[in-house]
Each structure stands twice: as structure tokens, then as C-alpha cells.
Amino acid sequence: MNLSTKKNIIVGLEIGTTKIIVVIGEILKDGIIDIIGFGKCKTLGIEKGEINNLDLLIQCINKSVHAAEIMANYKIYSVYLTVSHKEIHCQNEIGISPIKKKEVTKKDVDTVINIAKSVKINNNHNILHIIPQEFSIDNQSGIQNPIGLSGIRIQANIHLITCNKNIKKNIIKAIKKCGINVIKTIFTGLASSSSVLTEEEKNANVCLIDIGGETMSVCIYIKGSIYHNFVIPYAGNTITRDIAYAFSLSYSDAEFIKKKYGYAVEDISITCKNLDIFNKKGEKISNCHYNSLVEVIEPRCIELLKLVNNEILKLSSINNIKKINNQILSNIVLTGGSSKIKSLSQCAQKIFNINVKIKKPCRVFKIPKYLSKPEYSTAVGLLYYGKKHQQCYLRNKKKHGFLKYLLNQMKGWLTR
């Protein structure tokens, strides 16, 4: 089959610990992203975020890519990749520079950001993201776009997200062996934020928790800008393993039971009905009942959410932010496949003591119903992130000419 090479196409690739997802989006004339291709495959060759069988992983990537290509009738040559691992770190930095011509130019902004990012990071890490939080000119702070403003000195507050270079390098190696180039690697939390959080939520101060299979990716936004992020290397699969151990079940049966019957908080109306629980084959599990299942799931959910809350409290202590958990933050937003455990928002409400809601992708207008689920927040978010990244490159292309644009692209590919 001859696959087309349409223009204005963005491809997102999510390599999770449980599934590999490929989504293809076409940017329409009105700027809307129309999702035209989708492929999914169970992940093999990765354990706890690290590759243990490169050939198996390549097979899985190829399978997902092929399914998406056939659906979209489009040949994939490059992708936006997402990554989540305990070896993702962040830091907030400040840069200060004089304003050359008494009025801020793009060059002044680039200079002060370069000063801010010129800090020491872990030797085995490199920078994934440089995100400006705000600028200050002389005594005026809280500036989002300083270009054109007058002053003597400019300050930039930026957020750096770094990743273990070898983990990133190995995943990109697997993708390149599939004949695909990685345009940019994006932290999972940022990708999910792009599809789940509104600007209003970010401005009101929010914590997004993307609960996957093996990791929870957390992003905290203060006054509209990302302030802190971290990854906890425990998530939904931990609950599945607990169920398997408690009731002597296979992992697949435990996962099925968790999704179909699992509650994070006991519901008395269901307990009274004394419902039977069945495995994937329809066989009754004699030693597993609704209340005993809750007794396994609830403590683990509380433990996982407390890990996040402890990080938030630690953040408030280190940065002298008073009561960030219930004063500064207005909302906790849960997303990701493991956020679908029934009553999880009620369980989280007890831990965080603020409003908790579970969200699915909402910022891509033309989203198919089958993708409008929390487990696809990251993959869909890659398209939204990729659209903004592509628009930025196109603006640079017009401004600096095609040759310089091409050289910058090639330089980026070589350094990733």
C-alpha cells in the first residue's frame, strides 16, 4: 500500500510500561487538530522504565506505528516522544542581565534565559525543557512577555526539567531502528497537562497527577506557570500485584478484577449486596469478595497518594510556601489509566483536603470517542504540544530563512 505524506501532520509516540500508543493528528486550516490515526500495542522489552530487551521493544513500536499508519493512510517519519522515569528532575533558576538598548528585545530575552539555564545539573542528565515562568524589569515583576518594555535590568525565572541522558538515548535508539526520527522528547507530565489542564486551572494553581502503570508523573502549576514536577516510581501496577498476591490470582486476572470490581473507598450499598466476583473466563473467585477487595485496594491507594502529598509538603517546606497543600493549590487533577479506579477521587479528597477531579483529554476539539479517556491524556497531549512546537519552528523558518531553519533542525537531531 502506498502511504501518503500529507503536510501539517503531527505524530505522538508514548512508550509506557504497559502500552505503546501512536496517534496521528492533522492540523486543519482553522488550527484544529483532527486525529486521523491510532495504534496501540502492549509494551514488551521494558521493565520499570528501562529497556531489558531492545528487539522486543522495537517489534512493539513497529506494530503500533504500522496500525496508526494504515488507519491514517500516512507514512510516519518523525514523532514527538514522551518520557516518564524516576530519573527526571527539575529545578527553578534565575538569570539577570542588563537591557542593551533600554528597551527589551528578543535578543535580551534569549540572553537572560541562557544565563538562567547555565547552571550545574547532574552529570548524567541533560535538559529536556527550559520553561520561562516570569520576567522582571527593574522593580516590576510578574511579566509574561517583556519584549518592547523599557528598563535597565531584566530578570528571568525559569523552570528546568532534566532527564537521565542514557535512558533517553536508549529509547531514541529503539525508535531510530524503526526508521523514525524523534523531533523532541517531552516529559509525560507536560504532555498530559497540554491535553487536560485549561489556562484557567493553571492560573488558579493546580497539581496534575498522571497515574500510569509503573509511574506517577506530577506537575504543579503556580500562577499559570509550572513550578515543580517529579516522578514517583510506583502506580497502578502496584495495586494489581497486591490483588494477585492477596487472592492467589494471575496478574492478568488481578488486573481484570481491579478494573471491573475495584473501589478505592468502600460503598456500603454495594457491600450489602454481597456481589460475586468473576475472573476473565467468567469463573467465580470464591475467596474474593467486594469488601475484601476494597481492604486490599484502599490502603495502597492511600499510600500512593500520600507519596505525592509528602512531596508537596516537602516542597512547601523547602521553598517557604505556607500550606501549599490546602492554601496555594486550588485543585488536584487526576488523569492516566490508573485514575479510573472507582471512588479514587473520594480517596484523594481525604488525603489532600481540597477539590479533586478526574479528567480526560479536553483541549483537542476533534477527538474520537475511543480516545476521550484518561489513559490517553499523554498521547493526545503530545499532539497539542507538537502543534505549538511546530508553529514555533515555522515562525523561525519565516524569520531566519529556510537554510538556517534546516541547520537548526539537523543540529537538534544530532544532539538528541
**Mean per-residue pLDDT for 283-306?**
91
pLDDT band of residue 408 (cuts 50, 70, 90) is low
DSSP string, 283-341: -B-TT--HHHHHHHHHHHHHHHHHHHHHHHHHHHHHTT-TTIIIII--EEEEESGGGGS
pLDDT tops 60 at residue 200: yes
pLDDT at 325: 45
Give me the half-sphere count of Cα atoms (radius 13 Å) on the Cβ side of residue 217.
28
CA distance 317 to 132: 23
Q: Read off the DSSP letter of residue 342.
A: B
* Closest listed residue to residue 136, CA positions, set 163, 112, 159: 112
Q: Read off the DSSP letter of residue 410.
A: H
21-24 long-range contacts, CB within 8 A, separation 24+? 21/64, 21/376, 21/378, 21/379, 22/64, 22/65, 22/67, 22/68, 22/76, 22/79, 22/379, 23/68, 23/371, 23/376, 23/379, 23/380, 23/382, 23/383, 24/68, 24/69, 24/71, 24/72, 24/74, 24/76
pLDDT tens digits, one per residue of 122-147: 889 999 999 999 999 998 998 999 99
CA distance 98 to 112: 9
Share of residues in the chain with pLDDT > 70 (%): 88
pLDDT tens digits, one per residue of 11-35: 999 998 889 999 999 988 888 889 9
Q: Read off the DSSP letter of residue 369.
A: G
In this structure, the number of other CB atoms found within 10 A of the CB of residue 124 comes to 12
pLDDT at 195: 93
Query: Can you tell me whether residue 36 is helix, strand or coil?
Result: strand
pLDDT tens digits, one per residue of 310-359: 998 888 766 655 554 445 788 999 999 999 999 999 999 999 999 999 99
- What domains appear along the chain, each with residue ranges and CATH number? 9-86+166-197+362-415 (3.30.420.40), 88-163 (3.30.1490.110), 216-358 (3.30.420.40)
Cβ atoms of 209 and 347 closer than 8 Å: no
pLDDT band of residue 272 (cuts 50, 70, 90) is low
Beta-carbon contacts of 49 under 8 Å, excluding residues fewer than 6 positions away, are 17, 84, 85, 86, 167, 214, 215, 233
Q: Higher confidence at residue 363 or residue 395? A: 363
- Cell (9 digits) for 97: 542581565
